[in-house]
Structure 1
């Protein structure tokens, strides 16, 4: 369904609002959103794409004037034979929801003979009839256009969107077509083939002329066509301009008015991409002679996309309203000054006022309130769709007004919302707030309306407000309901307030804020209600400053100087455990408000209190508050609020050390790494802090970090990157070599350091016990061992000293001059004084590379370059500063040949098996050759011959008895891993 909304106007009035300390001057305009009438059309017909008003004589009776609403629906079914979604214009009533379709054209597609064949010569399907609907100021003539109407030229193979319009007169009883670009000899986009006539249009009442915009003519330079009503031969158009005017879209919008003061009808034409994309509006007279140009202010804002003409300052001269829907809000002074980036496509509306010399110099600007809202697409008051119907979409796509629909002497407004298939109209209500009472309009009641006032004291402080109403000591907010504003009278209210004694904030002023609104009660359902101007604040405020001795500028700049001394240089544990901290604070310049002293102490020190050495200066100290998860505590002392200039405060603080613990510790984030073959990588982390010491803010800085990652010749890794750089603060970084981050796809496994340490401790204890069991008890051996140890120590010290000297002399420098480095490019913007940024580079030192390259001593260096590229001010003689820093790490790998290596277990078992096998083979060989057989003498010869010499040890030939042989077991030993 599609919809239309109707609002009735109310009478303008003037009243005065006066409060003690608070004053305001404002004017208001808005619409009564409650008295609305909604019309709905067919779904997806774009009902409400354009709107207009039409005045006719009801029932043919003169003197009785009624209005109808004309609603364009460019995608509606037109009812023409063979035409799909040709578009339509609907005539809707203002008293009920009746709408009827107006048939401007009942014929289907036009046809013509091509030889003996009847062929189609145009297309009315999807022509968007109703995309432009305008009426004359008298309201009796209506022009409706179809800018996408397509014509087939004589060859029938060229189809171009020339556009067409239909004029309706005599209460829609007569219709006439005007297609100014449908000319056989002017085909092509370089002429009039793509002009889309009817994209905009206007009707001149006094001279009976039509003005039709054709933004696609002449390479989309655009063209303005003037056509006299009833005379087809009286046509004028603007000619083609130079090439730099291509794609400027003249004729995108238009409106008629008097721009020369001769009561003639002139026309303003929008050129949204003219003047080198800033946009412009060209003023023509009735003969299409240029009167003057009005140029835009911002590139790409589409200045001139919407136009309206009227007398907005009541001086009798026509003024021009110009829409710029793509305006970016950064240049608007109404925006928050702290905003660093613009609000895109908030839109803007410029109201140019015509002076007595018929110039348009003075103007005012209205800027949209929401990003991407494109305020100014069409000229309108501020009406929120959610106040009408939450389901409305594209509300405000088309707007028209200036006609009194309900005969209450005030013009009404018609608003279209094509995506919601709805359209509506509303009446306006005007209030003028001034200092003294006055009255504008026809309202005869003595009482204007009741107001509700809410007066708040120091609202930003909340319950800690520093002021109170005297009549009620605990009240900081006063509500006044039903405050009447009467004709010819001034309303005034006086209230007394007071300031509390024990306030801390004496620098900032006390704000008195008044919120005012209209009491919306007691109205009937269809009765018009007043509304507030949405462009004016509903709150006014004033300030109460507390008197300070801060000079003419009322800004206090103190100079606090502090000294602190201990009464003892050292503390002997077990002796007197108390000591004092003496503090002296002096203010050398202007008053110091909320001056405080802070002291941070470890938990081992007990705070006992403080002693004032100058009783005339009040000092209060707070109870200790824990910091850093209970590791420290802080004490805050108020030393003056204010602490006057040239004044001094002396006091001492007492501490005791009863619970003092002695803790020793350290952190080694290794500056020197000693590596062995058993390691693969060692963690190497770079922490970098950049701080602006001031005094100026730096608009932009560049930071380049160079990190030695690989050797150039063999691409072996050195400082292997685990992850991208980590940042904190106003800095963004980009790594130029994306492939340097974890190129090997390694997985970082956290080390269980505590468990490893426990294992090593047990192993060391076992070794110590083993050494104690096998210590020799001999004093001589002990003395000899001590002498040998002393000699080894002397030789070792000499060797270490020589080795260190050799390492320094042979130290290899590894930096970005010899290495393939990873580079990060970083940017810092809006770097204020005392701000800082942090950088962290996480990498691993690849130990195998150092061992393979045989580096006994190496210095690895990374480089950081910081350069200021932009300052917040321009000065040709200032040289932008450049700083750099080098971070170096010394690495000393041990000599791999000196590292003790244990014997593998498998080698021990192989040696045992080989020894046993060899022994068995030897025994078998000896047995085979009779090694184990004894030679015995023959019987009877033992006593006759001399005993022979024994041939083998362990055998005797003179003994008949066998001597037992003792088998000796040999144990093979092999080195074991310790």
Structure 2
């Protein structure tokens, strides 16, 4: 019966869903089964003569009685279509209910076998085999045991005559492997007690030193910490177990999938083992069921060993993807003659599934996937892509490249991805001359590139060649090549194309198969390059101008991708080995090892760099300056003109960099003097490094004189200056007023005392004392303070004092402590006082008294913890003369307050009365004569006095003007 299985026409892959190499995701073919049938659960390719079919298992397809019996479909590619037919030629007595026919399908050398592991009421399992063009299938039930599930796994020998079936649930899940040469002859495996789910997967190949053997997995093995185990069996010696491989991680299901084929083309089959439940514990977030694949290479002795180089681990990246659920040999998909591997992760990428293609090589399987294909890259997206594969590799479109056929059972679909022909391009680059000599300038740069007259430059001829070949490739192709000059230093632009003045050249070149094409371009070196030591690498990258449509050629991604590289070296006078080994010797001397804080003087370092070896290219001097040292300049008179310095900044950081030679020739010396401005901080000293190096390295035993640790010590030197003054400067006492007890007879005074830091360094702290007299030597009071001392400027604290003192002492001591006083700053203290009458009245023979106030100060703290006790104490004094005089006083009786008040009121009234009388008598009015040339018939004899021109009724006359002039 022919199913209604439609060909899904060519679809375009979504760009984000797939990337990679030559399996054509843009033009896939897809065949679909009945919904829910698990179409694509298992796959095999069956060949007979020139015919080739795809066998597809659908274990949950319904039969005519609507029972889940399963089915086998036979599909064939016809032109651009895939047509499928349901296989019905099974024995008539086949038990159909829930048997899962098609759970496993294998075919080899003209023999096909399909199994139904749930056959029977107790799932004993059975298989069916057919040969040739599959006219009919014969029942094969080698072991009848309840819940055995024979046919869960199956394999055939290379000649197709030996059947291997697995029943992992036999013997209460111990598992059984059954081998036979037909339906009647079989040899059941003898089981060990520590096996569990034996024969979960089976594969056959030349695993015994080029002799055929069998590989079977044990799903969970207690002696391997339940990680899984794979055993190697000699199938020709009574199924004798030869060796085994054990998993690494508990529960990873090592051996869930198997593939046996020659990966590195050495003639010996290698083993690929899937572990889909491998968990990644190395990340901060544990990733469960990422999956892993283990690859074991067979040694020349027919052994499989662990560890590099005999073992390769491929790991999945996505949680739950189950990378390694299915593994399969694809044959040669990229035309290099070496077989490739497909790895399925059917639950990755959000459940759409992912297939990874790993290409083989002479050195073994490449550790990076050459192509990654996601199930959601197709339109419409599919699920569980990569659940099953066709093993062995098949070229269905007959273009000499094996294709990929993968199943997606959750979408009931099989996807066929044809392989595109691979173009292998070989390219090469050469230079003439092979070395470029900077002193030899044979070319000229056009004036447009320099902004002036042509400049002579060093140049060379770049020659590049391309040729291509490959199996089934077109006879003519177009390539897009890009040549990049000096790829390691693209911003430096040391090497440029002569015709474009750019470091990159792109052009399309047509090629004919197996015909070498060469072209030439002139390149030149810029005259102002700094790096004259390292070679300039030139790369040629090739891309293919692809033609649209299915099975169009694609460029190789490995050795035939058309990439080439070569070096253009700069000729150096370095002897026969062309390697310059310099010997730089640096001397650095400071003008002084100490610096006075606050002096604002500049500090210099003299540097001499001598090259006692071969030419030093890119020779530099570095001064790693601390923040307290600022670069000012270099001394032009002392520094060589060839030395160029770059101040600290974003590029150099805090380091001063000076170019001292490029190259600094052998036996030559470079000199420079660096001028710095120190800005001392809190540290007593700073250390910093001065060093020199070059682009071409020195020998290690000559580097000890390439650097020097320098140190600058900061010191403090300063002194204090004291001054004082009094307001008023002298005091006079009227004894007459004093004797009459006048309140103003005893004058007050104010005194100021100043402590100034005259530098140059700062003062951390200082003490000073002011001693002011209160009594005469005879013990009579002469003065007293009227208030506590006050700090009017600066920062200081003074101890409180008693405003009067003991007659026996006669003095008041005022003690003050300053805070930090910077250079040129000062502290000012104010004293307020007044004279006392006792001494003035009782010492009758003394007419002049002298008040002598003394101030002393000393430094108690200096920067950097220096001892200030060695600095001398400074002293100053303020003298105030008090003079007694006798002066007669007019003793007047005080006038009551109301008399001036009343007098003022009376005076105001008198003035007002006089003004009223005068106004009434007309004093404020005057007669004005009439003008000589009157314009009015009549006018008043008298008018108020008005300013000229204010009366609009009377115009100005000439007489008025004359009067004004005479008046003026």
Structure number with greater Rg is 2
Structure number with higher relative contact order (C-alpha < 8 Å, ≥ 6 residues apart): 1
TM-score norm. by structure 2 comes to 0.50
- The answer to which structure has the higher helix fraction is 1
TM-score norm. by structure 1 comes to 0.49
